[in-house]
Amino acid sequence: MIEPEVDEVRFAEAQRIVRVTALRATPIEDDRCSGCLYYLDPDEGLSFCWHEKLGMLVDADWWCHFFETREDS
């Protein structure tokens, strides 16, 4: 079995983003990514977060400190 190569630069950047955004895999109170303004498709369990400092796929139940309530919620 061939070991996968780890892109250390990209891994370090992903770790930095997690620290900066305080991204966590559990919601805080009832705030979760699926209810955030930056969550691209709130009807999906996995969607893109388009916040300028995050910009990655996130789970609907995750949370970060850039959470901003949707107007339609």
CB < 8 Å & 24+ apart, contacts of 40-47: 42/70
pLDDT of 16 over the 70 cut: yes
The domain segmentation of the chain, as residue ranges, is: 24-73
- The pLDDT mean for the chain works out to 92
- Provide the residue type at 68 as one letter: E
Q: For the domain 24-73, what is the CATH code?
A: 2.20.70
Q: Are strands 46-49 and 56-59 parallel, antiparallel or unpaired?
A: antiparallel
Collapsed DSSP state (helix, strand, coil) of residue 10: helix
- pLDDT (0 to 100) of residue 73: 54
Tens digit of pLDDT for each residue in 30-60?
899 999 999 999 999 999 999 999 999 999 9
